[in-house]
Chains A and B, each alone.
Chain A
Amino acid sequence: MRGIIVGNSFFCVHVWALVFLSAWNSTNCSRVVADDGPYCGIYAVYGAAAAVGVQCEFQTLVDPRFVSSGAGSTIGDLVSAAEHLGVRATPLTGLGLANLQESQDPLVLHVSSLGQLDAYNHWLLFLGIENGRARVTDGSGAIHPIGLAELLARWDGVALAVFKVDSPKTNFGAVETATIGWWAILVLGAIGSASWMVGKLTSSARSRARAWAVALVAGTFIVTIVREAQPAFSFLRNRECVAFIVAAEGGREFPTVSVVEMVELSKSPESAVIFDTRYNGDMAYGHIPGAIRLPIDSNQHEVAVLMQAIDHKRPIVLYCQGAGCRFSDRMAVVLTSFGYEDIRIFRDGWIGWEEFHNKSRARK
């Protein structure tokens, strides 16, 4: 369905809510995507403009008007950036999967950083759904598919719809109204049917109250089972995503390996895959033999490309600078979302490795 967003009063509430949200909570990019700096937002707008056929120089967006702080762009900055490029951008909030499915326009989504679900501080460009997976770009990376469940887990429902001036655009207000309307009809229909059954089966007020309690519980169960049949909403069919959320939110403690075990593992590369999660610059000063670069500032596409070659059943060991460093834990959470289960952390990190070898050399 297509139409004009602003005409929908219900939708206006969402827009105002977003304006409030934007003013109250400065939306920005973290430095997690260090290669792209604080530019994830303008990269997303740049990509969205290109998707609707407006070409421009990316450098024109690297301007304090569009990246108002070192932390990144606010949603207001991104609207200005879109206008600068000659495209329209409408801020939206309270969106869900139905909106992604119906969207005809590129959407700049407000998401959490990779491996950190508790802070929505990053922008991704959503370019539609293909074969049940979302097509997204992260920063300057290429288009890559990610699971809808994973995208939903990282998204707070805030988006910027980008479309060409004077071209038709998705009526998200209508999608929203339809979603709530269908749900309301389903609920009222279910209660109406239950009411008829309860009236037929019971006579006294007390037994009627009991029958209603049973109907409420049974109705909840049935509707939940029906929802589980929808692949994008199902917890059972998205176990990897659930494991990722549990690991990210529950502060999952991954098993650790000692420095002695690490020495053994580094001698036999077949036993485990070792990843160095420090920044590229840190790794240049030295690393554990056989370790593969998986910097904490990798974007989703880079991780996906790297992990394509790694068997899901192989043990993985991650390390970073030292015992106080948490990059390994965050990357372990990210790898959980890719379906890896046997993940361990070398807690002592590069500093522990160096100390161990320095002591060994001193003894000799």
Chain B
Amino acid sequence: MQSRTTSEGIHPRRLRPMLVRGVMICVAAVLFWSGVEHLKNPFAFLSSVIRYQLLTGLPASVVAAFLPVFQTLLAGMIVLGVARRMTSLCAAVLLTLFTAVQLSALLRGLEIGCGCFGAASNAPITGYSVSRVAALAALAWLMFRLDVDDAAPGQLPNLNVDECSKAAGRIEMPELEACP
């Protein structure tokens, strides 16, 4: 078995999954924090949802009831590293949705707080706050692209064991993670 480390330390091929994992745990922490803050006061969160003027009445109540729970469960799954591809996709989609909603409020000229981390975080939505959540969404998409460990084999290039063994013998191993 060839060593995967170099004399300088961890091999870049080993570093990437660690980096992806670390970043995804940070994203999970943000989702968990936000979810717990909303769970502590669901009625204040309902106010925040309605303030965006996209949903009202029953649909807003459904979002206010389900979203914080979904966020915290998703964060837990990311931290535990289960179904990594699916959870990183969910996180990326969710954060993109948050970006779109905030952007729409900004474009419509609504002077409202984002309510991202509970009622106390009522700083008005600005270009800065939108770019912050957009950056987080972009990061989640990047991690989704990089994190292919949990991909179904049928979705990956058809490689046989010999090809993989050859690939594993080289320093550059672009297809290594596609091995069954």
A contacts, CB < 8 Å to B: 17, 21, 24-25, 93-98, 117-118, 120, 149-150, 152-153, 155-158, 179-180, 183-184, 187-188, 190-192, 195, 198, 204-206, 208-209, 212-213, 216, 219-221, 223-224, 227-228, 233, 235, 238, 241-242, 245-246, 248-250
Judge whether B145 is part of the interface by a CB distance below 8 angstroms: no
Q: Is the CB of B65 within 8 A of A224?
A: yes
Instruction: State A153–B90 Cα separation when bound (angstroms).
Output: 29
Q: Is the CB of A227 within 8 A of B86?
A: no
Closest to B39 in A: A183
A179 partner residues in chain B, CB cutoff 8 A = 36, 40
Instruction: State A149–B150 Cα separation when bound (angstroms).
Output: 43
Q: Is the CB of A220 within 8 A of B69?
A: yes
Of B40, B50, B65, the residue contacting A235 (CB under 8 A) is B65
Q: Is the CB of B119 within 8 A of A155?
A: yes
User: What are 22 residue pairs bridging A and B, where the CB atoms are less than 8 Å apart in the complex?
Assistant: A150-B43, A156-B118, A156-B120, A156-B122, A157-B120, A183-B39, A187-B76, A188-B76, A190-B73, A205-B152, A206-B154, A209-B86, A212-B77, A212-B83, A216-B73, A220-B69, A220-B73, A221-B66, A223-B69, A235-B64, A238-B43, A249-B51
The answer to whether A235 and B46 touch (CB under 8 A), given A180-B36, A216-B74, is yes
Closest to B119 in A: A156
Q: Is the CB of A157 within 8 A of B40?
A: yes
B contacts, CB < 8 Å to A: 32, 36-37, 39-44, 46-47, 50-51, 53, 56-57, 60-61, 64-66, 69-70, 72-77, 80, 82-83, 85-87, 90, 112, 118-120, 122-123, 150-155
Q: Is the CB of B112 within 8 A of A118?
A: yes
Q: Is the CB of A220 within 8 A of B66?
A: yes
B37 partner residues in chain A, CB cutoff 8 A = 94, 157
Of B44, B61, B73, B87, the residue contacting A157 (CB under 8 A) is B44
Closest to B111 in A: A118
Of A204, A216, A233, A235, the residue contacting B70 (CB under 8 A) is A216
Q: Is the CB of B50 within 8 A of A245?
A: yes
Of B32, B41, B77, B112, the residue contacting A191 (CB under 8 A) is B77
Instruction: State A219–B87 Cα separation when bound (angstroms).
Output: 14
Closest to B79 in A: A188
Instruction: State A216–B41 Cα separation when bound (angstroms).
Output: 22
Q: Is the CB of B43 within 8 A of A152?
A: yes
Q: Is the CB of A149 within 8 A of B70?
A: no
